[in-house]
Structure 1
Amino acid sequence: MSKSLVAFFSHGGRTAAVARRVAEAAGADLYEIVAEQPYTDADVDWRDAGSRTTLEGKDPQARPAISGSVADMDSYDVIYLGFPMWWYREPNIVDTFLDTYDLDGKTVVPFCTSGGSPVSDAVPTIAGNAVGATVLEGATLNGPTDAQVEALVAQAR
């Protein structure tokens, strides 16, 4: 039997709420990706060309530091990876998470919350950073129904 982890990054709490639902539906452990230097509301102001997330989004190599780590990543076969879409892709801190662990042979199922960009916009970058993993289609989950959450979980079954 495979063991699953829901790893997620959330700034405003919307992605965290969805991640908890995915973890419950999948019977998965939950891990929050926390920035070593927390993001402020000013940092995530997409209208500000000088905001932290705008600058990170323009530099695909930016890797904000994470506080903490997954205790036993080797024990997980499936990683449900949740995040808000920032600048048409996953936040750079999610790339930091992907770069931190050996994901060879694991299955990664991305899900996002988004005001307009679908998760498919982030899948190529995630696949490039999750070396050796199988990255599935995933889903955009904004206020998802139980059926939508179950459909995401079913992708890895």
Structure 2
Amino acid sequence: MRMKKILMLMFGVLMAIAMTGCGASDSAGSASSSSKTVTVGENSSSSSAAQAASGKKALVVYYSATGRTEQVAKDLAKVKNADIMKIEPDPDYTEADLDYRNEDSRVSREHNDESLRDQIKLKKTTPDNWAEYDTVYIGYPIWWGIAAWPMNAFVKGNDFTGKHVVTFATAYSSPLGSSGQLLKEMAGSKGDWQDGTCFTGAIDDAKVADWAKSLK
């Protein structure tokens, strides 16, 4: 009987050891499965991000001296669900700089001496993720019948190959004229350029939205 009890005790110990081993194995299996789930999740996220990046994207780039062009740019970006970037000269124009009636003002001197326009620097020339944009809307005020020249530095500083470009402007009475075509020439005629429109007088948000919706 005593020998039988000893054998039963030894059998119980062996069973306990075996159960413990199975438990450890299951834990390792759970950890392994969890690790695989995280990896798959990360790969799926990367794939979604890549698909989003490969879709068509639009950017509104504008220079605004008095806020009128900025108003149009924001209306356009809202309708087209586009990103937006403001062109900022470095140094920026002061109110005195913009006084075209003063022959000694900055804009007057740059108007009379075109070489001064080439010296205009921008705080940022190339937008973030520039390569991702398929369509670029370029907006500016009309100065002396052409695009405000801070826009020259932006156009000359970027490659528009493969991009569809639409120009728009603001003025008190002047038309868009040849301003868009001149910018196209500065860009080396790279890209597909389309003349948009020039908003004169007071800016009407509804009219801007209607124009934006008409663009294909």
Q: Same fold (TM over 0.5)?
A: yes
Counterparts of 1:44-63 in structure 2, within 5 Å, are: 44-61=98-115, 62-63=117-118
Counterparts of 1:141-152 in structure 2, within 5 Å, are: 141-142=199-200, 143-152=203-212
Contact 1:54 / 1:87 at 8 angstroms: preserved in 2?
Answer: no
Contact 2:145 / 2:177 at 8 angstroms: preserved in 1?
Answer: no
Contact 1:104 / 1:133 at 8 angstroms: preserved in 2?
Answer: yes
Larger radius of gyration: 2
Distance in 2 of aligned mates of 1:23 and 1:135: 18
**Segment drifting more, 47-56 vs 5-14:** 47-56
1:5 to 59, 63, 81: 59
1:154 aligns with 2:214: yes
Using the TM superposition, give the Cα deviation of residue 147 of structure 1 relative to its aligned residue in structure 2, in angstroms. Answer: 4.4
Q: Larger % of helix: which? A: 2
Counterparts of 1:116-127 in structure 2, within 5 Å, are: 116-127=173-184
Distance in 2 of aligned mates of 1:78 and 1:145: 22
1:26 aligns with 2:80: yes
Distance in 2 of aligned mates of 1:34 and 1:76: 20
Distance in 2 of aligned mates of 1:150 and 1:80: 16
Aligned length: 156
Q: What is the root-mean-square deviation of aligned Cα atoms in Å?
A: 1.7
1:95 aligns with 2:155: no
Report sequence identity in percent.
Answer: 27
Q: Counterpart of 2:196?
A: 138
Distance in 1 of aligned mates of 2:111 and 2:175: 17
Contact 2:72 / 2:205 at 8 angstroms: preserved in 1?
Answer: no
Distance in 2 of aligned mates of 1:103 and 1:144: 30
Q: Secondary structure at the match of 1:138?
A: strand
Contact 1:79 / 1:108 at 8 angstroms: preserved in 2?
Answer: yes
Structure 2: gaps (5+ residues)? 1-54
4+ residue segments displaced more than 2 Å: 57-61, 144-155
Using the TM superposition, give the Cα deviation of residue 15 of structure 1 relative to its aligned residue in structure 2, in angstroms. Answer: 0.9
Distance in 1 of aligned mates of 2:149 and 2:81: 27
**Paired letter, 1:65:** K
Distance in 2 of aligned mates of 1:133 and 1:54: 32
Using the TM superposition, give the Cα deviation of residue 39 of structure 1 relative to its aligned residue in structure 2, in angstroms. Answer: 0.2
Using the TM superposition, give the Cα deviation of residue 91 of structure 1 relative to its aligned residue in structure 2, in angstroms. Answer: 1.2
